[in-house]
A and B are shown apart, each in its own frame.
Chain A
């Protein structure tokens, strides 16, 4: 992608870029909601957004898939699954079933305290290990909304997570399939994020649009079929 947006404003040197996607780099500290159909490329899109430069760390919260599936998908998207830089919080498998050093397990997607503890702990360890830039992805928010009794706890969780991302100059990405959720809840949750990336799939393949962020392409943009499988 171009490093100088069309309006001539030069991006900051610590912006997060996206090699295989029609998205211009976004400022560090940004949190984005990624929406689209679960069966129409949402997971591929999230993984493509999480793949960064070689000096970046990655934390994946696997709420809808196992840690193994998440790591495999991340590798398929072109991510380097070096355990020193990539960590997964597995909310969907039995404790102890994850693939080795990469993975921390919590009891269930409803265990927001546990996910928060692991997230903070992994973030600090990645930082201490020299990874100053970290991309965080949650795939997906659906199990949290399904299993947590009170949606207010999910709001608090998202504010806390996005607050840390903002404070340390990270990049936060949360995926959700709006077609499978209460529309009013998704609308309220979207307010927690700086912007939104929407995915749709049709006869001509997958397209995305970016809303709420400055200096981004207008309207729907076609995706490389190798980046996101329909």
Chain B
């Protein structure tokens, strides 16, 4: 049965071809929302979209206008350009816009497209950052230990205030890494709420058992071109990951400053200890909430 909410967006200014593609998805039990213009795509991206399939030309632009729009509004969403000959797009393309291409001129083209998109819709297909090997388990663990309503936020607020003073830095925060964004559950020195994972340093921190230190963001090839970090005045960074008892890294406890800064071994050890404290708060609050739920039922 098709899902109630469409999760594939099909963009094409040729109504017959567009409908054929929508029908091909429907035949596979996948709902697809037909779109003709960029405005319609933007509107569709406000909902839960797993993949965008676009023709070479759309009502008011071309495939790469669609790609740019998706990257700006929903950067992790995969895009597949479904066209006769991809080389026909040569004059339109920009060299660092990465998408998938599927040929419309080969036999069984729409069957191939449906098969490809079924895989492309996997969450990490076109993301611009490294993904932990245990990503699915990690996300499940995050839901289990999520701090909303657990009372841990007050403890994290106190902890980050203490850390900012201890290290004499601009900002200290606890960030949890959701599927597509980092969520700042406590943030001393700034009012950050969310950051796309492709812009987040913590998305690299969770891969490392050691404390991650970036002494100067502009000198680190992973982050030197990241304008969003510059906008947030993040010049130096130190982060220790927060892991569940099962070993899944669900977030990080971090120090940020607007000046280049190094961290001594002693400071790294201190940060790791603070992170251990935050981790224990998460685990204890989660168990407490679980016990309360059991008692109330």
Contact = CB atoms under 8 A, between A and B. Distances in A.
Given A120-B86, A124-B112, A166-B119, A182 B221 contact: yes
Contact of B125 (A111, A150, A163, A185): A163
A121 B103 contact: yes
Interface stretch (B8-16, B19-27, B129-137): B129-137
Interface string A116-160: 111011001100100000000000000001001111110111011
A168 to B, nearest CB: 8
A155 B223 CA distance: 13
Interface string B75-118: 00010000001110110011111111111001100001001100
Nearest to B220: A184
A117 B91 CA distance: 13
Interface residues of B, number: 44
A226 to B, nearest CB: 35
Nearest to B214: A184
Interface in B173-225: 198, 204, 207-208, 220-222, 225
A112 B20 CA distance: 30
A5 B111 CA distance: 36
A97 interface: no
Contact of A155 (B93, B106, B128, B133): B128
Given A166-B119, A184-B220, A191-B133, A113 B96 contact: yes
Given A110-B95, A117-B86, A188 B100 contact: no
B127 interface: yes
Contacts of A111: 95
A151 B130 CA distance: 11
Contacts of B37: none
A164 to B, nearest CB: 7
A160 to B, nearest CB: 5
Helix, strand, loop or mixed for chain A's interface?
Answer: helix
A124 B103 contact: yes
Contact of B225 (A114, A149, A187): A149
Interface in A168-195: 182, 184-185, 187-189, 191-192
Given A164-B100, A191-B131, A121 B87 contact: yes
A84 interface: no
A149 B222 CA distance: 10
Contacts of A116: 98-101
A159 B126 contact: yes
A120 B101 contact: yes
Interface in A96-117: 107-108, 110-114, 116-117
A113 B106 CA distance: 21
A152 B97 contact: no
B232 interface: no
Please indicate which of the listed interface residues A114, A160, A166 has the most CB atoms of chain B within 10 Å of its own CB: A160
Contacts of A167: 115-116, 119-120
A31 to B, nearest CB: 12
B209 to A, nearest CB: 12
A188 B207 contact: yes
A110 B93 CA distance: 13
12 contacts: A114-B93, A117-B89, A117-B93, A145-B221, A150-B226, A155-B129, A159-B126, A160-B126, A166-B119, A167-B116, A187-B208, A191-B130
Given A151-B225, A160-B98, 18 more contacts: A114-B90, A116-B101, A121-B101, A124-B112, A151-B221, A152-B226, A155-B127, A159-B128, A160-B100, A167-B115, A167-B119, A185-B221, A187-B208, A188-B204, A188-B207, A188-B222, A191-B132, A192-B130
Q: Which 7 interchain pairs have the tightest Cβ spacing?
A: A167-B119, A191-B130, A152-B128, A120-B101, A150-B225, A117-B86, A153-B96
